Structure 1
């Protein structure tokens, strides 16, 4: 009898929980506009968990998930990859022999801007915008290049911004977070902390230049697209950015510099996107790795840098180096054939990376240093060799090198001898693997997971219809007040008046006293 009562009680509690969950369920518009697989995969566990908790999620994505997920509707933006190809984006970043950051910025602004214009004009997206009966309770969108913020004015609901890496300094400023060009150099700068005096000058100048470029080039371009799609009366992008209630950034203090942030900025980094349930490898890859009795190397330059598009001399360095190694090499390569491919190399157009890194024979991961790739390697205790190409990759590579769980190389100066020496050093020296174990332990030693934090704060915004309570009043201060220029100016002027007055009075007194002494009659 007692057992029956306990069972009924448990069922009642479960039903009550379900009822509460569905009663609080929200309709969420989610958008990840950057045409890059790594940007998409960073948030997949979030969409799945929100849908699992009963929220209805409408997801705009360039890489739809293959599985059918209850409560999740995906709108395919994959055709925007065609726009990226029209502008030869992958060729530009893959064949960049100088790591020219400004070339990457200019190409990215035009290419991603046009890709997002294409996305917003797709029929299925236009149906969301034009249907007057369409409604949502919350908008969650990637804000790396935030043209999709036009949805905020259309639906007039709370909005959460997302980034798959650290946010640009402007976003930190908008959220009221501390941003300093010396402590927090802009993304894209390859500077190692502590900065030298020349590094500080470079960082300050670069910060000013990138902000000027954003103000006079990037923002007007985004405003033009938003007005075309959402109407001529749409607010400018700088006003729409102020509507963001919270910012979720894929940052973890174990891997990133410490930054003072307000409660409306949530750091969820540390392998949040990594699926904890292993999946079986494709048979060919599994057998290749199983047969690697001396160990295997996994080599991938990510989803944006293409191994088939890199310059011939660099690819030849890879081939000649791999030929001399005693290990098997699994190489993510985008063509069917690789001329002069060594016998110990397997090429694959697509690789289930997280599951490959779980294989016990993997000794090292040679990577472009995308943040998601690095997290997947760390969580599986795999040391790294970094070959960064663009964006945040150089900074990630320096961080990895400084923290000791890998070595970074400059692909523009790479030689076969240096490459081979580095591979053998990282594989044979146990300190790199041991350090990756220590970093993984730190990432997982937390009060709650990144996914739990994101979901809790998402539902907080839903429950409270926003998070204006957490808004830092610093956001409303003009530039001159934030930097105390008005106070400094007032004190400066006042000090000048006091000092000037004191000097003038002192001179006057001196002259009077001198005159009195000079005019004093002499005694006979």
Structure 2
């Protein structure tokens, strides 16, 4: 019996041997990096060795974590006025230009792969990894890591099942019912919206094919070509590489409507960034929320869109409006210089958002509608008033409104006037809170926590050497075969030949009749 126990122990210890994982999060956007940080946290807690390429290094000391600092990437957006609250306030855009986002992702890739710290890592011939995990936003050039280290590629996507990512492992979903992540349209579409969605796909693919992807190919060949050659191998074609991912892990959940159908190697891990149990609130905030008899309204526009960049007049009007409510208002505002703050308003430079939303006294969340914030509202069952500004925020808020737990307020100079009736409605109408709780119950009704799901699939891909059995056969079928263009061509050819033969026969009969008439 002792020998059986000993052998069993040896087996289980060998089965959980730590993996060497490379995680790459190159975009200088704090909100997106939160998902990368969550991936790193789950991996190191599971005992895996993690090398983390990041713009925002973690304040964590762990033997199995090595961080590659690329914080200089922040220069990419540091002086970009098109990413400020003021720009969006004066330029009402419900859909970002796709080339702008493709260009940002392209330049981030160029800066990352040419960064001295990353080059030092790549040029070390002794480095090896079991799996690559990279952020997937508008650029697939990081698939080159999987070529260099000859290991599976896993994409970690900060949104849901959108056609731009599905095309990498399957076929793109139908634009007649599936909008892209930049679209304000929600199905069912009108005729005009269907045309708009179709055109947006054609235009995105045109930009990608003729402008962005050729530049990505150059970066891929310039960076990884010499490195692969030094290891005695030939660099595969770029298109073969970007369509060779083992898995896409998406930051979405099943408790929402109108999700596109997905292939087997597309998995939802929405909410894996939420720590359970949540961290305790600081004592001052804990006491404040505990003693708020009429409840709490929490207001935050996220990490990229900072409230301090709002016009002063608008800030003053918002404070006056919030001061008219009985509820306590916690406003994440990144400046301590505010004056004439009402007694019921608490200004915080930094807010422990998850801990705030977890408190039962919080009545609602006024938010920009980022994907992480949207997931947290579902996780904690809080209704939301959405003030979308850019990127996927319109899609998230429209979806939340359609699901029945949100109200949308336009981001404009009239924000205080538009926000007040929305707050009053949500305070007096229990439908929104009840729907949020209903969806939260759906969200939590799953076999295991999202963090465990994330770990399972990463380890599964390595165990199965790429999980080839999960891959869709659609990737191996050419477009002309998927659309039956060859069959259509064959039918048209047969019909054309028949028409030609019939026309010849008819022509001969016509000539024969004319000859008979002449003879008569």
More displaced stretch, 209-218 vs 408-417: 408-417
Whole-angstrom distance in 2 between the partners of 1:169 and 1:497 = 39
- How far, CA to CA, are the matches of 2:222 and 2:89 in structure 1? 33
Q: Structure 1 residues 506 and 306, CA, compared in 2 at 3 Å: closer, same or farther?
A: same
> Quick check: 1:89–1:108 contact (8 Å CA) kept in 2?
no
1:173 and 2:164 aligned: no
Q: CA deviation at 1:62?
A: 2.6
Aligned positions of 1:116-155 closer than 5 A: 116-144=109-137, 145-155=139-149
C-alpha contact (below 8 Å) 2:217/2:238 kept by paired residues: yes
The 5 Å alignment of 1:248-267 reads 248-255=249-256, 257-267=258-268
> 2:13 — aligned with what?
18
Q: Secondary structure at the match of 1:175?
A: coil
Following superposition, the deviation at residue 76 of structure 1 comes to 3.0
**Any conservation in 1 of the 2:299–2:366 contact (CA below 8 Å)?**
yes
Aligned pair 1:195/2:189, yes or no? Answer: yes
The residue correspondences of 1:49-68 to structure 2 (distance < 5 A) are 49-68=42-61
Residues 379-404 of structure 1 show CA distances to partners (whole Å, capped at 9, x for unaligned) of 11111000111111101111100110
> CA–CA distance in 2 between the matches of 1:92 and 1:235?
43
Greater alpha carbon shift after TM alignment, 166-175 vs 439-448: 166-175
Q: Which moved more, 1:466-475 or 1:356-365?
A: 466-475
Q: Does the 8 Å CA contact 1:328/1:345 hold for their aligned counterparts?
A: yes
Of 353-362 and 505-514, deviating more is 505-514
Aligned twin of 1:219: 213
Deviations 1:476-508 (A, max 9, x none): 333323222222122122223324433553565
Partner of 1:307: 307
1:165–1:249 contact (8 Å) kept in structure 2: yes
Q: How many residues align?
A: 512
Give the root-mean-square deviation of aligned CA atoms.
2.9
Deviation, structure 1 residue 290: 2.8
CA contact (8 A) 2:141 2:242 kept: no
Are residues 102 and 426 of structure 1, via their aligned partners in 2, closer, same or farther at CA, if it must alter by over 3 Å? closer
CA shift in 2, pair 1:152/1:19, >3 Å: closer
The residue aligned with 2:331 is 331
Distance in 2 (CA, whole Å) between partners of 1:223 and 1:454 is: 30
Aligned to 2:291: 291
Q: Distance in 2 between matches of 1:9 and 1:438?
A: 48
Q: Which runs of 5+ in 2 are unaligned?
A: 230-234
- 1:308, CA displacement in angstroms? 1.5
Partner residue, 1:159: 153
Q: Which whole-Å CA distance do the structure 2 matches of 1:428 and 1:441 have between them?
A: 22
Q: Render the CA deviation track for 1:297-343: whole Å, top value 9, x for unaligned.
A: 11111111111123455444423321322222111112222354333
1:105-504 to 2 correspondences below 5 Å: 105-144=98-137, 145-166=139-160, 168-231=162-225, 237-255=238-256, 257-269=258-270, 271-312=271-312, 314-412=314-412, 414-504=414-504
The answer to whether the 8 A contact 1:185-1:207 is kept is no
CA distance in 1, matches of 2:210, 2:320: 47
Going from structure 1 to structure 2, the CA distance change for 1:413 and 1:506 (only over 3 Å counts) comes to: farther
Alpha carbons of structure 1 residues 281 and 408: separation in structure 2 relative to 1, 3 Å: same
Aligned counterpart, 2:232: none
2:169–2:244 contact (8 Å) kept in structure 1 = no
Separation in 2, partners of 1:252, 1:476: 29
Secondary structure at the residue paired with 1:385?
strand
CA distance 1:368–1:504, change in 2 (3 Å): same
Quick one: which of 18, 34, 40 aligns to 2:27?
A: 34
SS of the residue corresponding to residue 466 of structure 1 reads coil
8 Å CA contact 2:383, 2:405 repeated in 1 = yes
Q: Deviation of residue 224 (structure 1)? A: 4.0
- Residues 68, 97 of structure 1: CA spacing in aligned structure 2 closer, same or farther, 3 A cutoff? same
